[in-house]
Amino acid sequence: MHLKIHLRDLEEILLEQTVDRAMLVSNEPVIERVTTIDLASSRGTYREILLDGIHIGYGDLRLKQTTLLQFESDFETVEMHFDLCGQSEAAFREPGVAPYQFSSNTHNLIYVPGTKGTMHLNASHARILEINIRPSVFEHYLSGSDHHRLAAFQMHMQHQQHSLLGRHNLPISPAMHHVIEAIVNCSRTGVYKKLFLEAKVIELLMLQLEQLLEHDCEGCPHLRPQDYEKMHHAKAILLTHLDDPYSLTDLARQVGTNEFTLKKGFKELFGTSVFGMLGDERMKKAQALLLNTTKSVAEISQEIGYKYPHHFNAAFKKKFGVPPGRYKSFD
């Protein structure tokens, strides 16, 4: 398995890595290495962790200018790609393969056979997590799935054709960020690190598939691709500000659209309004807090963003049929 990345038209090698047979049959539960990049045009690090059938790569690069790279690899892979910071575009030499474009805080799942091409980095700071999974391992994880999109993706794998699982890149959710940070900052060693990282990779794959497959825009014929990504961004903001929600105007401005498009697109994609989802998610959180904590109804009311407890009581009773105090006593 060989990967080479270098600056186009220059002799500077940015990254050249080989995973040889000796490494693949190593008795070590986890193989790690860090490459330091210190060139005139770029500085940073690329960290690698090699598990059985899984290669984790985390790059953090500072660039002095817009940079064009050339890459080549001799292995096929299913790549969980997360663009944490910066913008990139990968173009492939194979005819008929459209470029893959990623903006900051987006992700997708990609199948790539052995390939050559160019990558354009458009930001001064590039931070990327890429988890490459051996195709046989990926198919083992997904055995038994009958989702039509996965079936099409696996058909492309069988024919060694480039493929993106998601029709559009989607925003990296807060839950994904939490798992990514756990992977990048894992301090365990030996077999414990192996078990931990394998579990986190599977969890992250589950979150990706859940978002890419369940929030398909096949049923959203009027939603433009660029708005599709904005609606998911709006949802992510909504879920992280349940206690202090944005107004519709501010939320629309935050994701780069207008209030009309936000209301229409959000309802079309998720089947509910922005405030309908806000109310549902508040009630879900309240339900969990009532069952799993010793907090009072007043404390929970304040935590999920209600100014007056009697408004929370009325909303909870409407949702679950009983007031929150009585619901808590059921536990």
pLDDT at 253: 94
Domain boundaries, the chain: 2-214, 225-271, 276-329
Residue 107 pairs in a beta bridge with 82, 170
Does the pLDDT at position 320 exceed 50? Answer: yes
Q: Estimate the crossing angle of helix 274-292 against helix 259-270, to 10 degrees.
A: 60
Q: Which CATH architecture has domain 276-329?
A: Orthogonal Bundle (1.10)
pLDDT at 10: 38
C-alpha to C-alpha distance for 48 and 33, rounded to whole angstroms: 5
Instruction: Give the pLDDT band of residue 123 (cuts 50, 70, 90).
Output: low
CATH topology identical between 2-214 and 276-329: no
Does the pLDDT at position 149 exceed 50? Answer: yes
Instruction: Give the pLDDT band of residue 21 (cuts 50, 70, 90).
Output: very low
Q: Does domain 2-214 have CATH number 2.60.120.10?
A: yes
Q: Is the dihedral of CA 27, 30, 39, 41 positive or negative?
A: positive
Instruction: Give the pLDDT band of residue 107 (cuts 50, 70, 90).
Output: very high
C-alpha to C-alpha distance for 130 and 81, rounded to whole angstroms: 5
Over residues 48-102, the pLDDT tens digits come to 999 989 999 999 988 877 777 777 777 799 999 999 988 888 888 777 778 888 8
C-alpha to C-alpha distance for 260 and 222, rounded to whole angstroms: 13
Residue with tokens 């960020």: 177
Over residues 275-297, the pLDDT tens digits come to 998 998 898 888 888 888 889 99
C-alpha to C-alpha distance for 151 and 139, rounded to whole angstroms: 10
Stronger pLDDT, 123 or 183, i.e. the higher one: 183
Residue with tokens 């940015």: 14
Instruction: Report which secondary-structure segment, H or E, holds 75.
Output: none
CA dihedral 4, 138, 157, 83 (to 10 degrees): -50
Does the pLDDT at position 305 exceed 70? Answer: yes
pLDDT at 32: 93
pLDDT at 272: 84
Phi-psi label, residue 47: left if phi above 0, alpha if psi -120 to 50, beta otherwise: beta
pLDDT at 216: 56
Does the pLDDT at position 6 exceed 90? Answer: no
pLDDT at 249: 94
Instruction: Give the pLDDT band of residue 307 (cuts 50, 70, 90).
Output: confident
What are 225's two structure tokens?
A: 């691709």
Average of per-residue pLDDT across 202-211:
95
Residue 110, number of CB atoms within 10 A of its CB:
20
Stronger pLDDT, 92 or 246, i.e. the higher one: 246
Q: 29 with 18: CB under 8 angstroms?
A: no
Strand 42-51 to 31-38 pairing: antiparallel
Residue 126 pairs in a beta bridge with 61
Residue 13 pairs in a beta bridge with 6
What are 219's two structure tokens?
A: 């049923």
